[in-house]
Structure 1
Amino acid sequence: MNNIVLEINELCKDYPDFSLRNVSFSLPMGSIMGFVGQNGAGKTTTIQLILNMINRNGGEIKIFGLDNVQDEQKIKQDIAVVFDDTYFVENWKVSEVEKVLKGFYNNWSSTLFNQYVKSFHLSANKKVKELSKGMKMKLMLAVAMSHEARLLILDEPTSGLDPVARDELLEILGNYIADGRKSILFSTHITSDLEKVADYITLVDDGSIFYSGTKDDLLESFYIVRGGPHDLTDSLKEKIIGLTTNIAGFAGLLPTSEIEHLAPEVVTETPTIDEILVSISKGGRNHD
Structure 2
Amino acid sequence: MNAIEIRNLKKSIGDFKLDIEKLDIKECFVTGIIGTNGAGKTTLIKLIMNILNQDEGSIKIFGEDFDKDKKHIKELIGYLGHDTLYPVDFTLEDIKSTISIFYKNWDEKLFNHYTEDFDLNIQDKYKDLSKGQKVKFDLAMILSYHPKLIILDEPTANLDPIFRSEFLEVLQLQMEKDLSTVLYCTHITSDLDKIGDYFVAMDKGKIIFNENSENTRNNYTIVKGRKELLNEETKKVFQQVVENEFGFRGISNNKKEAEDIFGQEVLYERTKMEDILIFNKGKK
TM over 0.5: yes
1:110 corresponding residue in structure 2: 108
Q: Report the secondary structure of 1:35's partner residue.
A: strand
State yes or no: 1:143 paired with 2:148.
no
- Structure 1 residues 226 and 12, CA, compared in 2 at 3 Å: closer, same or farther? farther
Please report the TM-score for the alignment, with normalisation by the length of structure 2: 0.87
Q: CA contact under 8 A between 2:8 and 2:57: conserved in structure 1?
A: yes
Provide the C-alpha distance between the structure 2 equivalents of 1:93 and 1:242, rounded to a whole number of angstroms: 53
Q: CA contact under 8 A between 2:237 and 2:258: conserved in structure 1?
A: no
Provide the C-alpha distance between the structure 2 equivalents of 1:242 and 1:49, rounded to a whole number of angstroms: 34
Provide the C-alpha distance between the structure 2 equivalents of 1:151 and 1:278, rounded to a whole number of angstroms: 29
2:98 corresponding residue in structure 1: 100
**Once the 2 structures are TM-superposed, how far is the Cα of residue 23 of structure 1 from its aligned partner?**
4.3
**Once the 2 structures are TM-superposed, how far is the Cα of residue 152 of structure 1 from its aligned partner?**
0.7
- Structure 1 residues 244 and 115, CA, compared in 2 at 3 Å: closer, same or farther? same
Given the alignment, which residue of 202, 205, 213 partners 1:204?
Answer: 202
Once the two structures are superposed, the pairs formed by residues 1-288 of structure 1 within 5 Å of their partners are 3-179=1-177, 181-226=179-224, 233=231, 240-246=238-244, 250-256=248-254, 258-259=257-258, 262=261, 267-281=267-281, 283-284=282-283
- Structure 1 residues 275 and 108, CA, compared in 2 at 3 Å: closer, same or farther? same
- Structure 1 residues 87 and 242, CA, compared in 2 at 3 Å: closer, same or farther? farther
Letter in 1 for 2:112: N
Provide the C-alpha distance between the structure 2 equivalents of 1:236 and 1:156, rounded to a whole number of angstroms: 39
**Once the 2 structures are TM-superposed, how far is the Cα of residue 258 of structure 1 from its aligned partner?**
4.7
Letter in 2 for 1:123: N
The RMSD of aligned alpha carbons is 2.5
Structure 1: gaps spanning 5 or more residues: none
Q: Report the secondary structure of 1:177's partner residue.
A: helix
**Once the 2 structures are TM-superposed, how far is the Cα of residue 121 of structure 1 from its aligned partner?**
1.6
Deviations 1:157-213 (A, max 9, x none): 121222221122111111111135211111122222222222222222332222223
**Once the 2 structures are TM-superposed, how far is the Cα of residue 227 of structure 1 from its aligned partner?**
5.1
Letter in 2 for 1:126: D
**Once the 2 structures are TM-superposed, how far is the Cα of residue 214 of structure 1 from its aligned partner?**
1.7
Letter in 1 for 2:199: I
Structure 2: gaps spanning 5 or more residues: none
Provide the C-alpha distance between the structure 2 equivalents of 1:193 and 1:170, rounded to a whole number of angstroms: 8
Please report the TM-score for the alignment, with normalisation by the length of structure 1: 0.86
Q: What number of residue pairs does the alignment pair up?
A: 282
Of stretches 235-244 and 206-215 in structure 1, the one that deviates more from structure 2 is: 235-244
